[in-house]
C-alpha cells in the first residue's frame, strides 16, 4: 500500500526530529531530573517522565515514517 496515510517528511525535517528525539529530549529530561534532586525543584519525577513519554512517542512515529519510506522505495 503506497503512502500509508502518513505525512512525508523532508530529509532535513526528519534529521532534525531524529536529533531532537535521540539527543535533545533525553538530555533535557536528565538535566531537569538531576537539577531537581540537587536544588529541590518541583515535579522532579513528573517533568522528566513527561518528556520521556513524548520522546518515546516521537521515536515510534519516526520509526513508522522510516518503515513507510523504506516500503515505498523498494
pLDDT in the model for residue 2: 53
pLDDT digits (tens, 9 = 90+) for 10-59: 899 999 999 999 999 999 999 999 999 999 999 999 999 999 999 999 99
Question: How far is it, in rounded angstroms, from Cα 54 to Cα 36?
Answer: 19
Give the DSSP letter string of 3-72.
STTPPPPPHHHHHHHHHIIIIIHHHHHHHHHHHHHHHT-S-TTHHHHHHHHHHHHHHHHHHHHHHHHHHH
Q: Are 4 and 30 in contact (CB under 8 A)?
A: no
pLDDT in the model for residue 37: 98
Question: 3-class SS at 73?
Answer: coil
Amino acid at each position: 500500500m503506497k503512502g500509508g496515510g502518513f505525512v512525508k517528511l523532508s530529509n532535513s525535517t526528519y534529521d532534525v526530529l531524529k536529533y531532537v528525539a535521540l539527543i535533545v529530549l533525553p538530555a533535557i529530561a536528565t538535566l531537569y531530573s538531576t537539577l531537581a534532586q540537587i536544588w529541590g525543584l518541583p515535579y522532579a519525577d513528573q517533568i522528566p517522565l513527561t518528556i520521556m513519554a513524548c520522546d518515546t512517542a516521537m521515536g515510534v512515529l519516526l520509526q513508522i515514517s522510516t518503515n513507510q519510506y523504506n516500503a515505498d522505495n523498494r
